Structure 1
Amino acid sequence: MKKITILFCIASILLFGYQSPTSTETTQAQAFTQQVPSYAKWGQLAMKRTKEDYPKADIVDYLHIGRQEGPILTTEKFRLWLKEEEKEFGVNVTISFYKDTETVKEVKLEEIKRKSKGKKRR
């Protein structure tokens, strides 16, 4: 009797345990993996240019600040946080490109100075 119960459990698992994903689940999974933010390629450019200017630093954080669209130019802004030896600092990267052709007009990098903390009271 014990063998029959075990065989029945195994057969149930084999028959009903695996369910192939429905078409809706498959479509949702594909949509999730295909969703790439519109700023992704500009973020890659921001990181590339930052690494060119700061070759010894590691990029430890990345933030898309936003997009500004004009009639001719679009601007993407990013903030990257870098670490070089014991020094940590931020870099704002602004990429301006022509809206119709997506040709880059300008890439600006601006190092952010860390705000100093006020003196402690005793």
Structure 2
Amino acid sequence: MKKLMSILCMVMFLGQGSAFAQQPDYEKYGKIAITVVQADYPEANVTDYQYLGRKDLGNGQVSDSFLFKVSQDGKERDVVVTVNHSLTNNRLLNLKVEEKSPSQSTPR
């Protein structure tokens, strides 16, 4: 019985490990978005980050959007980074950074 429980636990552990190894395909572009926000706001603190979702642009191209809460000099800003990229060749097509007032941002 102990041997069966050990094998069952090992299978469950290995199954979880493979799930953790898989990363969402937008993660690469999320890292790029973080780097851009840190470069555009070098003196600010990024206090929150949210993946807003994906839009299909057609022809194998998509647009992923990310929301960053940026705090600088006592003011909080919402910064939306939109990354257009190709799913067929995994290349960045363009990137747009927009600062929005908190009331204009997408609700959680």
TM-score by length of 2: 0.78
Which residue number corresponds to residue 25 of structure 1?
12
Matched, 1:103 2:91: yes
Q: Distance in 2 between matches of 1:109 and 1:62?
A: 14
3-state DSSP class of the match of 2:76?
strand
Moved over 6 A (4+): none
Q: 1:87 aligns with which of 65, 75, 80?
A: 75
> What is the CA-CA distance between 1:21 and the residue it aligns to?
5.5
SS at match of 1:37: coil
After superposing the two structures, state which structure 1 stretch, 66-75 or 44-53, moved more.
Answer: 66-75
Alignment coverage as a number of residue pairs: 98
Q: Distance in 2 between matches of 1:107 and 1:21?
A: 48
Structure 2: segments with no counterpart, 5+ residues: 104-108
Structure 1 gap ranges (5+): 1-15, 116-122
| TM-score, with length taken from structure 1 | 0.70
Deviations 1:76-112 (A, max 9, x none): 1111111112111100110011221121111100001
